[in-house]
Structure 1
Amino acid sequence: MNRLPSRPQLTDVEEYAAAVLDVVRRIPSGRAMTYGLIAEIVGERLGRGGPRQVGSVMAGSGDRYAHLVPDDGGDPDDGGDPEGAGPKGAGPEDADGERVPWWRVVNAAGSPPKQYLTEALDALRAEGCPLSRDGRRVNLRRAVWFPEDDAELAHDVAPEGRTTVVP
């Protein structure tokens, strides 16, 4: 069973961001989660936050997704697609330096961020994620991922920065 690495003391903001990025990193290929669902899960762990806070984490410190950097162009596991179907950026990174699949996080209507709609939908299509009939939103009834499907998410980072197991 994988355990999250022990981390040094984190500020409340860093702790919340780490928890959000941990959930997002675990969303399987071809599936999606909403900002609200992520906020609910992180709220159960940490007792705070909401969809807007999740959006702030995903947006980084500037405009939403402005921190995206050019991808290396080839590894589908890190967000790129050798044939150009994947997103053009690497996305945010979690505390371990792993890229986070930002395109798998959508709003309550299943829509990716407007300014990165094409990149997100291309990546979702490439992963086989079920989309709406018009192809502009994720079909949440078929694509939403609930973490209880993944035993790994039972691991939690305690407020003190220690790794713990949640029953």
Structure 2
Amino acid sequence: MDIPATPPAGPAAPEPSPFAQRVLDVVEAIPPGRVMAYGDIAEYLAESGPRQVGAVLARWGGAVPWWRVPRADGRPPPGLESAALAHYRDEGTPMRPDGDRVDMRRARWDGA
């Protein structure tokens, strides 16, 4: 069975809402080796909340450095732990002694 080089055409994915685009812009601006939690992004934007930020990343986050948005306790996004940990190592992100979580105190970016 031959697999096509490009996927078959389907309905176009809707463009991100203005809020979603703002979230994606913030994630794109996070420097390598630094992170912002979902709630940090919502607070930085002064709108919505962590769940809405998470929903944006779940839908459109593949095009931005999604691994730079761990949970508030420093754990990587669920289901993407291995990939995120590899990115953290590559970028020199400060980690907790257990090696499974980002050291949020040292790695958190304030958006400045």
Q: TM-score range by the shorter chain?
A: 0.7 to 0.9
- 2:58 corresponds in structure 1 to 59
**Cα deviation per residue 1:95-136 (whole Å; 9 max; x = unaligned)?**
xxxxx1000001110111120001001101110000010110
- In 1, Cα distance between equivalents of 2:110 and 2:92: 18
- What displacement does 1:42 show? 1.5
Gaps of 5+ in 2: 1-15
Q: CA separation in 2, counterparts of 1:112 and 1:39?
A: 18
TM-score normalised over the length of structure 2: 0.82
Match of 2:84 in 1: 120
1:14 maps to 17
CA distance in 2, matches of 1:136, 1:114: 12
Equivalent-residue separation in structure 2 for 1:147 and 1:31 (angstroms): 10
Matched position secondary structure for 2:17:
helix
Partner of 2:13 in structure 1?
none
Q: Which amino acid aligns with 1:16?
A: F
Q: Once the two structures are aligned, what percentage of the paired residues are identical?
A: 51
Q: CA-atom RMSD, angstroms?
A: 1.4
**1:61-76 alignment, distance < 5 Å:** none
Amino acid at match of 1:24: V
Q: Is the 8 A contact 1:31 1:129 kept in 2?
A: yes
Which structure's residues are more often helix, by fraction?
Answer: 2
Q: Which segments of 5 or more consecutive residues in structure 1 lack a partner in the other structure?
A: 1-12, 61-66, 68-90, 94-99, 149-167
Q: Distance in 1 between matches of 2:100 and 2:18?
A: 33
Report the equivalent of 2:74: 110
2:106 to 142, 145, 151: 142
1-structure distance, mates of 2:26, 2:58:
15
Amino acid at match of 1:41: Y
TM-score by length of 1: 0.56
Q: Does 1:35 align with 2:35?
A: no
Q: Looking at secondary structure, tell me which structure has more strand per residue.
A: 1
SS of structure 1 residue aligned to 2:44:
helix
